[in-house]
Amino acid sequence: MEAGVIVKNASFAYGDKDIFHGLNLEAPKGEVLCLLGPNGCGKTTLLLCLNGTLKLKGGEVRLAGRDISSMDATEIARKVGFVFQEHSAPFPYPVMDVVCMGRAPHLSMFSAPSKKDRRIAEEALEKVGMLHLKDKPYTKISGGERQLVLIARTIAQQPEVILLDEPTSHLDFKNQTLILRMINRLARQGLSIMMSSHLPNHALQFSSKVALMRGGGILAVGSPDDVISEGSLKEVYGIDVRILIGRDETGGRRVRFCMPAIESVDAAASR
Amino acid sequence: MVARPSLVSGKSRTDVSKKKLILLILLPIALFLISLFLGRYPISPWTVIQVLASKILPIRHSWPDTVETVIFQIRLPRALLAMCVGAGLSISGAAYQGMFVNPLVSPDILGVSAAAGFGAALAILLCGNLAAIQVSAFAFGILGVILTYLISRVYKTTPILMLVLSGVVVSAFFGALISVTKFVADPYQKLPAITFWLMGSLATASLKDVLMVLPSFLLGTVGLMLVRWRINVLSMGDEEARSLGVNTERLKAIIIVCATLLTAAAVCASGIIGWVGLIIPHIGRMLVGPDHKWLLPASVALGAAYLLFMDDLARTVTSAEIPLGILTAIIGAPFFAYLLRRSKGGWT
């Protein structure tokens, strides 16, 4: 399968502090790759390396057959969209103007979005079901709506790869599901998607591929069913986890999900 | 298909209405004409129009030569200079507020005013020649910003916080140097000259000043106007702007160069005039919204009109001229407080 992004033997360090080394990863087109791992294991760092915000210390990131260290910010932004985690806007731009910013990599330094760009932005807003908010100030909409608007902005960017840094943090139960389903839909349309998450259940339910990270690099990559096990989660997070297998009565499917083994966590805390 | 007619238009409600546009164009022009007949030497509006028209059309001279001198040698240069200074400070303020992602920023944030003030004070101390004062103010203003830029540069980038803090450092340093020049200055001649210069005034404006300021003013304004839409993207934060393909370092450098040219030129022509660059962008935002594509031109029009109006007050309200910098603060501060209360901090 063709890959949107290929990471080869990558290493990165903040000063003397090694974050990861010898890291290999591929995000195939049409799939959602979920990065799981504890706080500080380098998920966000890895994502920022993939769009050129941070520069690798060694190895390479290949995008559509090219090494990104030979591409400038504009070239990268035409291929890779990034949805950031925490987001607050300083000025109350209308939602439409925020989505139009996604057109920036396609415009020259001295120009503003044309009618055609605004149309692309409107179509992107419609795709995420937020067209009704287009004239609302971006600062006055809810967190879930804001995340969808940011995804619309990334769609307007017309990239081949979308990176999302914990796209569901701060969102309620319904909005988390809404965002993750939107991400699934985008993957089905042929985009490569890589996102980080803190919830193994999100990976089990919504991703087609999981990379389990821990300090220094990747422990395992593969399908969620292969990678997420009681043993691997224990190794990565350091707590006992139970994998439960059940039956989704309405959907008639077998589902796997996981939960922390509370007694063992309490025991570990009191030791 | 019926449910989505808006998809075809490609237009948004944020486009500024015609009425506001006309107001923004007419306001500075009207004030400009009014400024020409306002003053202690009475000239009727009709005469002003005739005198102006006589430069282009063959109209018989029916007025004393003094009228022409007052209009062309005194009031016209002063009005033009006030408009350039007001417009320059305001568009710089608007661009900086976007770039620094902070609506409380004014154009002197990188130390240009303090440094230019020191340049002027030093020149007053050493010789007192007007041209020397202006050149020194301009040069030191630019030197101050270069210093700030160099101090804030880490790992080939200039993080916003580093820029702000370096600006504070450079401003404080040149502020102290201004105090040194005041301390050693002759208290009967040089000290008052320094103090008055720092208060800001357009009283000595001449056509030569206008011509001197004009190149910096045009360069800075055109530069900022060209990149104005990108300032929207930059105002989402450096990291995000970069992920949207913006070369943030180059864009920030362009904005800093343009705003510095504008502010240094303004300071060297008129001394230090505060508040304009801070409040005009806010008034602009209330009128045309936060989109810098509209906000920057609106700031030019509003800033030109505002400073012209203030300067008219400065020279007509009392028989002795009030320093312009004092007036902009005395009227500007309460007005800003009123706007703050009205918007409840919403910046809209």
For position B339, what pLDDT does the model report?
76
Helix (H, G, I), strand (E, B) or coil at B22: helix
Tell me the pLDDT tens digit for each residue of A93-106.
Answer: 999 999 999 999 99
For position B345, what pLDDT does the model report?
60
Tell me the pLDDT tens digit for each residue of B209-225.
Answer: 899 889 999 999 999 99
Give the pLDDT mean for B41-69.
84
> A157, A81 in Cβ contact below 8 A?
yes
Report DSSP letters for B169-184, one per residue. Answer: HHHHHHHHHHHHHHHH
> B233, B246 in Cβ contact below 8 A?
yes
For position A121, what pLDDT does the model report?
96
pTM (two decimals): 0.89
What pLDDT band is residue B331 in, cutting at 50, 70 and 90? confident
Whether B245 and A77 lie within 8 Å, measured CB to CB: yes
Let me know if residue A105 belongs to a domain. yes
Helix (H, G, I), strand (E, B) or coil at B58: coil
Let me know if residue A270 belongs to a domain. no
Residue predicted with more confidence, B231 or B346: B231
Whether B226 and A109 lie within 8 Å, measured CB to CB: yes
Any chain A CB within 8 A of the CB of B189? no
Whether B347 and A91 lie within 8 Å, measured CB to CB: yes
ipTM comes to: 0.89
> B81, B270 in Cβ contact below 8 A?
yes
For position B322, what pLDDT does the model report?
87
For position A270, what pLDDT does the model report?
74
- Sequence ranges of the domains in chain B: 74-343
Q: What is the overall mean pLDDT for chain B?
A: 88
Interface of B with A in 3-22 (CB under 8 A): 4, 6-7, 10-14
Let me know if residue A126 belongs to a domain. yes
Let me know if residue A54 belongs to a domain. yes
Residue predicted with more confidence, B69 or B344: B69
CA distance B162 to B231: 19
Task: Return the sign of the alpha-carbon dihedral for residues B252, B257, B258, B263.
Answer: positive
State the burial class of residue A170 (Cβ atoms within 10 Å of its Cβ: 0-12, 13-18, 19+).
middle
pLDDT at B38 over 80: yes
Let me know if residue A46 belongs to a domain. yes
CA distance A19 to A214: 10
From chain A, the residues in CB contact with B239 under 8 A are 48, 53, 84
From chain A, the residues in CB contact with B258 under 8 A are none
Strands A161-164, A80-83: pairing is: parallel
From chain A, the residues in CB contact with B241 under 8 A are 104
Tell me the pLDDT tens digit for each residue of B290-310.
Answer: 999 999 999 999 999 999 999
Count structural domains, chain A: 1
pLDDT at B33 over 80: yes
From first to last of its 271 residues, what are the pLDDT tens digits of chain A?
466 889 999 999 888 888 898 899 998 899 999 999 998 888 999 999 998 888 999 899 998 888 999 999 999 999 999 998 767 777 889 999 999 999 999 998 888 999 999 999 999 999 999 999 999 999 889 888 999 999 999 999 999 999 999 998 888 888 899 999 999 999 999 999 999 999 999 998 899 999 999 888 888 999 998 999 899 999 998 888 999 988 887 877 888 888 888 887 777 777 6
Let me know if residue A100 belongs to a domain. yes
Helix (H, G, I), strand (E, B) or coil at A46: helix
pLDDT at B6 over 50: no
pLDDT at B230 over 50: yes
What would the two tokens of residue B48 be?
Answer: 């002003």
CA distance B150 to B255: 16
- CATH class (in words) of the domain with range B74-343: mainly alpha
Any chain A CB within 8 A of the CB of B103? yes
Other CB atoms within a 10 A radius of the CB of residue B254 amount to: 18
For position B15, what pLDDT does the model report?
61
Domain, as residue range, for A191: 3-223
Tell me the pLDDT tens digit for each residue of B120-171.
Answer: 999 999 988 888 999 999 999 999 999 999 999 877 778 888 999 999 999 9
For position B2, what pLDDT does the model report?
36
pLDDT at B332 over 50: yes
pLDDT at B14 over 70: no
Closest-CA residue of A relative to B292 is A93
Let me know if residue A241 belongs to a domain. no
Helix (H, G, I), strand (E, B) or coil at B305: helix
Tell me the pLDDT tens digit for each residue of A209-261.
Answer: 999 998 888 889 999 989 998 999 999 988 889 999 888 878 778 888 888 88
From chain A, the residues in CB contact with B291 under 8 A are 93-94, 97
